[in-house]
Amino acid sequence: MKMQSNIRLCLCTLFCGLTFMHTVNAQDNRKVAIGFKVSPNFAWTRIMEGPMENNSLGLGFSYGLMGDINIGNNPNYWLSTEFIVTSTPSKINTNDTLWSDDKLKSGLPYKNATFSYNLQYIQVPITLKLKTNEIGKFKYWGQFGVAPAFLMQQKLKTASTPSIYGNNTQSHNPNLDANDKYDFKGDVGSFSGKGAYQDDVHKARISLIMGVGIETKISGKTMFSAGLRFDNAFSDLFVDDAVDGRNNFLGIQLGIFF
C-alpha cells in the first residue's frame, strides 16, 4: 500500500514537472512578443554638399513600443517593428559669410553663423531580426531594415555675428512661413544669391538601420533586451537646394518584452 502511494506520488510529481516544462516551453516558443524601449542617442548631421559643416554631437532620446513577430515557426527568424518618438538634436555651422533680407537688417553680412536644430520624429522601424539559440543565459541578435519617420516638432536656434534675431525670440519653428524672416536671403547687391540659406527642414525622413544586441530572461515570459543601433538617413534633411545633409544617430537600446 505504501509502495502504491509512493508510485502515485512519483507519477503526480512527474506529471506536474511535465506540465511545468510544457508551460515554460510554450512561453519560450511564443510567436509574438511586445514590449517597451528607451534609447539615448548621439546625433550628428553629415553634410554631403553645400557651404555647411557639422559642428558637434547632440544628445537625443527615443522611447516607445516594440514588437517581435516570429517568421515561419523558426525561433531564429523574427520580423521586428516599433512605434517610437525620437529626438535628434544637432548643430551645423556655415563656412561662408551669410547675408540677410535687406528689409530686416538692411542687407548686413553675418559671420560665424551656427544652426542648432532640435527635431522630433515619429518613427516606425521595420526590420528583420536574427536571433541565435540560447548561449548560456543569453540570446544574441542582429537586425537590419528601414525606418520611415515623420516630423512632429522642429525647433531652431541661430547664432551669428551680429544676431539675426535682434530683440526677438531665440528659438523658432523654421518651417513656419511667419519665420522666413530669419532665413538668409543672400547678397542683395548682386543677383548671384551668394550667402543665402533657407533653414527649413523636410517633414519626412527615411533611414537605414542596423543593430546588434542581446536578450535574456528575467522571469517567466519577461525578457530584457539591450543593444546598439546605427540609424543612417538616406533622405535629405534640408529644404534648401544648395545644401544636402543627412541627420544620423547612434543609439543605446534598452527594452523589456512582456
- Report percent pLDDT > 70 for the chain: 84
List the grid coordinates of 47: 553634410
- At 195, give phi and psi (nearest 5°): 80, 25
Q: Which tens digits make up the pLDDT trace of 83-123?
A: 999 999 999 999 888 887 654 555 678 888 999 999 999 99
Contact 79/72 with Cβ under 8 angstroms?
no
List the grid coordinates of 5: 502511494
| DSSP state for residue 201 in the 8-state scheme | B
Q: Average pLDDT of the chain?
A: 86
Mean pLDDT: which of 9-23, 28-42, 165-179 is highest?
Answer: 28-42
Q: Which tens digits make up the pLDDT trace of 153-212?
A: 999 999 988 888 877 778 999 999 999 888 888 876 554 567 889 999 999 999 999 999
Contacts of 89 (CB under 8 A, 6+ apart): 43, 58, 59, 60, 116, 117, 118, 119
List the grid coordinates of 177: 512661413
Max CA-CA distance within the chain? 111
Distance between CA atoms of residues 25 and 16, nearest Å = 14
Listing DSSP states for 157-193 in one string gives: EEEEES-TTTTS-S-B-TTSGGGGGGSEE--TTSSS-
The answer on pLDDT for 1 being more than 70 is: no
Distance between CA atoms of residues 48 and 103, nearest Å = 32
Distance between CA atoms of residues 250 and 257, nearest Å = 22
Query: pTM higher than 0.95, yes or no?
Result: no
Contacts of 71 (CB under 8 A, 6+ apart): 77, 78, 79
Nearest to 168 by CA among 196, 111, 178: 178
The total of other beta-carbon atoms located within 10 Å of residue 163's CB is 13
